[in-house]
Amino acid sequence: MNNLHIMRVSALGAFAALCLGAAGAEAADLNTANFIAACSTNIAITDDPAFEEANVAPKTYCECVAEELTKANVSQADIDILTKMHKEELTDEDVENYPTLEDLMNTNEGFEDTCRQRLGLPTDLGPEEYEEDMDEGMFEDEEVPAEDDSSPPE
């Protein structure tokens, strides 16, 4: 009876190892190179002054996000749609045909926050900082029209 028990445990262990190995191989097969390239050149990332202040290259940040996505066992289709997002190539058709896109975007945002925190970058602009950033460039390139004195008095 002990031999039968040992064989069962061994068989279950081998099966578990096989399953874990298959899951690892699937994650390793993800092609994240295009994602990393698109993310690294996204203007929202390259123009973020926090990267320079923290001495973090955008590529390092994007590699971190890609690693988190891989660990989460996302599909290649998920990686591809996020690549399109970073390239700003998402179409209405993509949105319609990807019913879990909003969930994927939220998950990706969580991974981005994780990587920002890990790399010493701020994770979120607070409302005051956001308003200051918005106010800074509001009228830089626009000329404010002079008052029109030619209108009849009321």
Structure tokens at 122: 């701020």
137 against 153, higher pLDDT: 153
Residue 53 pLDDT = 94
Give the confidence band of 10 by pLDDT, cuts at 50, 70, 90.
Answer: very low
State the alpha helices, DSSP H only, in the chain. Answer: 2-28, 33-40, 43-46, 49-53, 58-71, 76-86, 92-97, 101-118, 127-136
Mean pLDDT of the chain: 78
Q: How far apart are CA 93 and CA 90, in angstroms?
A: 8
Per-residue pLDDT tens over the stretch 56-75: 999 999 999 999 999 999 99
Residue 152 pLDDT = 62
Per-residue pLDDT tens over the stretch 37-48: 999 999 999 999
Taking the C-alpha atoms of 75, 77, 81 and 86 in order, what is their torsion angle to the nearest 10 degrees?
60
Structure tokens at 131: 């308003």
Q: How far apart are CA 69 and CA 116, in angstroms?
A: 14
Give the confidence band of 6 by pLDDT, cuts at 50, 70, 90.
Answer: very low
For residue 18, the number of C-alpha atoms closer than 13 Å in the C-beta half-sphere is 6
